[in-house]
Each structure stands twice: as structure tokens, then as C-alpha cells.
Amino acid sequence: MMKRTTLLIVIVATLAGVASSTATTTRRATDEAAAPIFVKTIPAGYRDWKVVSVAHEAGELNDIRAVLGNDIAIKAYRDGKLPFPEGAIVGRIAWGFVASDENNKAFGRDQSFVAGSPTNFYLQFMVKDSKKYAATGGWGYSSFDKDGKPTDEAAMKSCFPCHQKVTDRDFVFTRYAP
Amino acid sequence: MMKRTTLLIVIVATLAGVASSTATTTRRATDEAAAPIFVKTIPAGYRDWKVVSVAHEAGELNDIRAVLGNDIAIKAYRDGKLPFPEGAIVGRIAWGFVASDENNKAFGRDQSFVAGSPTNFYLQFMVKDSKKYAATGGWGYSSFDKDGKPTDEAAMKSCFPCHQKVTDRDFVFTRYAP
């Protein structure tokens, strides 16, 4: 009888421990799903990456930008492969949109706009890690000003809701330019 | 007497040959200086090159462009080294400048322009070879339409006169974007 009771206590205690552990894991997963994780570091070597495309944002942003990809992202783009594989990073550099007096003189007419100084939203990246960034579609978002300082978290919360508009392209707006 | 005459004939003939050869070389050099040599082949792997900068040409061109450099050119740009070393190639890809309805909807306002299809002057390159392209400041110029067909030579004659406006930057307009 004593032995059986001891055994029962051990079993109950073990089950309780498992349950407790499961509860902790579940709670942690729920917390992660609720709170997006923003990336705070600039990927090494991004300025050497290959070109995905280029764009101009008029209005308040008033920038001209190059969208680049690391080798994993570029390969996926070129293969037309979706979703992007783990480790893919798509980034963009935004410079001020500046009329070039020098070019306009050379052309003999006002037509030329070039990249000026880094903007307040100079660098932005999305990093594919399906587990780590599960809360935001498998992509971790980052943004940095001209001094490399991360954009504040309140502003970062607008990344994912907007990128959700292109869920069918794995949350990536920019298409590969030929 | 016979021997001296024979020797004289040999000497005269040799000198004449040298003179003739020199004349041919000089004439060839003069022809080369007078007639620019245009490059007719697209450099291999250019789409993998690193970004120098980006630009928008409005007006008739109405394009958005990425200026790229091969490794020799990029190194010279980053080192701030002029003139560009032998083998440097600076190129640019020009796509149509297209308003993006998709992006405008996402932003909630009309502000976004992206790269469309290749233009009629899709690809242009300048290749540094001081000897071969001495007639045009040490750079050989090339231009290709969306099908990779070289631009006609009459139009190509406008490259060098325009690039001469930036002789102090070794004939290269585009500055490196940070």
C-alpha cells in the first residue's frame, strides 16, 4: 500500500511538472505571437548586395531608392520561388530625391533627378525566419535612420499590417526588375 | 663595287620598309584617333554588379535607372580614386518609370513609382581601356536596346562629347551614393 501511494505521488508530481512546463511553453509562444520582434541590427555587407529593383517615392518621403537582396533572396526572386526561403533578406536604401543641375545642363533640359543624402528612413530590411518572426508572417522588420539608429517601436508596428496587403507574394511588395 | 651597291640597295630597301611600316602605323593611329571605337558586347554578369547610385530621368526618357559598377569600378569609387583604373566598367540599366497602383493603394496616396519594362536605351556601359579607346578619353562606350541590340553608331557619337563635360571626374557623371 505504501509503495503504491508513493508511486502515485511520483506519477502525479511528474504529470504536474509536465503540465506546468507545457503551460510555460504555451504562455511564452502566446507572448511571442502577440508581440512582434523587431530587428535592431543592420545586416553586414548589405551595400554589396545585388539589385532587386529601384523606385521613387514622391510626397512626404521624397526619396529615390534601391531595393537589394542577399544571395538567398536574389536566387528566390530569379527562380520565381515563393515563399522566400529561411535566411532571405530584402532591404532597401533610400536617398533624398534631388534635381541634378549638372546633369540638366549637360542634357540641355530639366529632367534629371539623382540620389542625394541618406533620408530619415535610410535603411530598411525584412529578414526571413519563420519561427523567430512567426508573429509577423515569418519576416522580421527593421528600419534605421541616416545615423544607423533603429526607428522607434511604435512606428515599426505599421510594417506588418501594410505588408499583409501582399500576403500572396509572401509579404514582399517589390518585384524583381529584369 | 657590286658588293657596295648590293649593300646600299638592301639598306635603302630596309629603310623604305621601315618608313612604309611607320607610315602605316601612324596612319592607323590617326584613323583610330579620328574614329571612336564603340563597344558592341554586353559585359558578362553585369546584373550582379554592385550599386553605384540610382536616378530618374524625366521628360522624353521617362525612366528610372540603377547605375552599377564592376568590382574595379566600385573599388575606385569607394577609394575616391581618379582616374578609374584599366578594366573599370560603369554601367546603367534603365527601366520605364511607372506609377504603382498597388503601392499607392497600400500607402493610401499617389506617391509611388517603380521600375517597369526595359526601355529603348535599356543598357549602357563605359569600359576603361586607355589605349584601345584613346580617341574617346580612354573609355569605350556602348548602348543596347531592350533586345540587346547595339544602338546605331550615329547616335553613339553623342556619348563622348557629352561626357567631356565632366573631364575632371574622368568623364563619369554618376557619383557614388552612400
Looking at residues A144-166, what average pLDDT do you find?
Answer: 96
Q: pLDDT tens-digit profile of A72-92?
A: 999 999 999 999 999 999 999
Partner B contacted by A165 (CB < 8 A): yes
Q: What is the pLDDT of residue A24?
A: 45
User: Would the pLDDT of A1 be above 70?
Assistant: no
Greater pLDDT, A21 or A133 = A133
Task: Say which range, A30-39, A44-53, A66-75, A145-154, has the weakest mean pLDDT.
Answer: A30-39
Q: Are A121 and A145 in contact (CB under 8 A)?
A: yes
Any chain A CB within 8 A of the CB of B120? Answer: no
Give the residue from B70, B114, B147 with the most A CB atoms within 10 Å of its CB, the best one to mutate. Answer: B114
pLDDT digits (tens, 9 = 90+) for B30-39: 544 568 999 9
Q: Which residues of A touch B123 (CB under 8 A)?
A: none
Q: From the list A55, A68, A93, which residue is nearest B115 (CB)?
A: A55
Summarised one tens digit per residue, pLDDT across range B97-149 is: 999 999 999 989 999 999 999 999 999 999 999 999 999 999 999 999 999 99
Here the ipTM equals 0.82
* B55: chain A residues, CB-CB within 8 Å: 64, 100, 103, 112-115
State the nearest Cα–Cα gap between B143 and chain A, in angstroms. 17
- Interchain contact B76–A (C-beta under 8 A): no
Contacts of A112 (CB under 8 A, 6+ apart): A99, A100, A103, A104, B55, B56, B57, B58
Q: Cis ω on the peptide bond leading into residue A83 (within 30° of 0)?
A: yes
For residue A145, count other CB atoms closer than 10 A to its CB: 14
Shortest CA distance to B171 belongs to which of B144, B118, B134, B131? B134
Grid coordinates representing B28 are 592607323
Assess whether pLDDT exceeds 60 at residue B11.
Answer: no
Where do the DSSP E strands lie in chain A? 50-57, 63-69, 89-99, 112-128, 139-144
If contacts are CB pairs under 8 Å, which of residues 22-41 in chain A contact chain B? none
pTM: 0.82
Give the confidence band of A35 by pLDDT, cuts at 50, 70, 90.
confident
